[in-house]
Amino acid sequence: MQQDITIKITDRNGVKHEVQAPTDMNMNIMELIRAYELAEEGTIGVCGGMAMCASCQCYVLNDVISLERNPDEEAMLWEAYHVKENSRLGCQIPITPEIDGLEIEIAPEQ
Ligand code: FES
């Protein structure tokens, strides 16, 4: 059985949370934020994780993951608001043991 990993998430009110995430449930960061109710219902995960809404945009605050975006993610962020160099779509970041210690901030509502 996989160990849980720790992810640090700053919510849209600037409050920092440290949460445990399971690596064996095929979850992504958007689903994790929803599971812990760290963003208001209906303001995150609007497209269900298809890289088609940018409601799950996050800023990556440390170098645990690469800032490289996949093509769908890049295309979506091109059209989104509040995009920074370290923006990623939470639904495109799978929860795996490699991302233990990741720190992110949820971007403002789209
Ligand atoms: S949930 Fe829509 S882009 Fe991630």
**23 neighbors 47 (Cβ within 8 angstroms):** no
* Ligand 1 atom closest to the CA of 92, numbered from 1: 4
pLDDT of residue 3: 82
Please give the model's pTM, rounded to 2 decimal places: 0.96
CATH 3.40.1010.10 applies to domain 4-106: no
Sheet of strand 57-60, all strands in order from the earlier edge strand to the far edge? 16-21, 5-10, 103-106, 57-60, 87-89
Contacts of 23 (CB under 8 A, 6+ apart): 2, 3, 4, 5, 95, 96, 97
* Tens digits of residue pLDDT in 21-37: 999 999 999 999 999 99
Q: Which atom of ligand 1 is nearest to the CA of 49?
A: 1
For residue 97, which phi and psi values (nearest 5 degrees)? -55, -25
The pair of structure tokens assigned to 106 is: 């949820």
Query: Cα-atom radius of gyration of the chain, to the nearest Å?
Result: 13
With a Cβ cut-off of 6 Å, ligand 1 is lined by 30, 45-47, 49-56, 76, 89-91
pLDDT, one tens digit per residue, over 70-105 is 999 999 999 999 999 999 999 999 999 999 999 999
pLDDT at 2 over 80: no
33 alpha carbon to ligand 1 midpoint, in Å? 12
Domain extents for the chain? 4-106
